[in-house]
Amino acid sequence: MALAPLRALVAACSAAVVLASCSTGDDTTVAGKADSSNELTIAVAYDQPGLGVRRLDGTYRGFDVDVARYVAKELGVEEEGIKFTEATPSEREKLLTSGAVDLVVSSYSITDKRKEVIDFVGPYFVAGQDLLVRLADERITGPESLNSGNLKLCSVANTTSAQHVKDRFAQSVTLVEYPNFSDCVTALLAEQVDAMTTDDVILAGYAAQNPELLRVVNQPFSEEEYGIGMRKGDPTSKAKVTAAVRKMIDTGEWRKSLEANVGASGYAIPDPPELAP
């Protein structure tokens, strides 16, 4: 073979090797997509003060949003590469299984039923279920008191909260379900329901927004372990997301974010939970 063609062949082979070494990402996995495209689509809540809120200027704030940003950055995706989309409770599993999003970080309680469909990293936070009532309403002192007086209890469809109350404490309460937490708050302020139930950290955010109108009963009666939702069958990405959350906890950024987002409400910041391997 002549020298010139040989040089051309060597150059072509070298270029192919370089390209192959650069394109290590597998777009079918979260970590692979982050590596190859520097982009991730993450579902967060739009209407949970302190955890996940989409503001009027289009920016996103909250502890869950900070967790999402931290994890993405550890996977190599800067903030400009994150596409946030809304995680309504009734759509979270579908968002993951359909491939519409890569991760769900949205006060997503880890349950055995959900683990049949999707995978979780966590728990990265443990909340307690509680009740939100109107400030002057003294009838409701805990979940058992919902059994009297034909009371209406509001929660969000496809969450664990309302059915938990009805199954364990208040069989006679009337359940009212809405698509979003803010709908329940509106109904409570309009006296269309008598109480709202979900996790205490979410309720604390709403009470802080309306301190002259609403209060948290402050009698937590369950534990809700929050996890980051992922599609099943992606163990490498799960390990990397777990490592990112552990680093956020160990560096103090976990507590710093909670203090910035919910500390002003008077909510007592808990110790970080132990992550599952």
pLDDT of the residue at 161: 81
pLDDT of the residue at 190: 97
pLDDT of the residue at 264: 78
Q: Could you give the CA distance from residue 24 to residue 39 in angstroms, rounded to a whole number?
A: 15
Residues 6+ apart with CB under 8 A from 113: none
pLDDT of the residue at 37: 95
Q: How many CA atoms lie within 13 A of 95 on its CB side?
A: 24
The superfamily (CATH) of domain 129-216 is Periplasmic binding protein-like II (3.40.190.10)
Ranges of each domain in the chain = 27-127+224-265, 129-216
pLDDT of the residue at 222: 86
If DSSP codes are grouped into helix, strand and coil, which group holds residue 155?
strand
pLDDT of the residue at 244: 98
Closest C-alpha to 269, from 63, 92, 89, 113: 63
pLDDT of the residue at 117: 97
pLDDT, one tens digit for every residue, the chain (277 residues):
444 444 444 444 444 433 333 434 578 999 999 999 999 999 999 999 999 999 999 999 999 999 999 999 999 999 999 999 999 888 999 999 999 999 999 999 999 999 999 999 999 999 999 999 999 999 999 999 998 889 999 998 877 787 788 888 888 899 999 988 999 999 999 999 999 999 999 998 898 888 899 999 988 988 889 999 999 999 999 999 999 999 999 999 999 999 999 887 778 889 999 999 8
**Hey, do 27-127+224-265 and 129-216 end up sharing a CATH topology, with the first three levels equal?**
yes
Q: Could you give the CA distance from residue 193 to residue 145 in angstroms, rounded to a whole number?
A: 15
pLDDT of the residue at 25: 57
Can you name the CATH fold of 27-127+224-265? D-Maltodextrin-Binding Protein; domain 2 (3.40.190)
Q: Could you give the CA distance from residue 226 to residue 78 in angstroms, rounded to a whole number?
A: 24
Closest C-alpha to 206, from 44, 55, 50, 61: 50
pLDDT of the residue at 19: 37
pLDDT of the residue at 166: 80
Q: Do the bridges between strand 214-216 and strand 103-104 make them parallel or antiparallel, or are there none, so unpaired?
A: unpaired
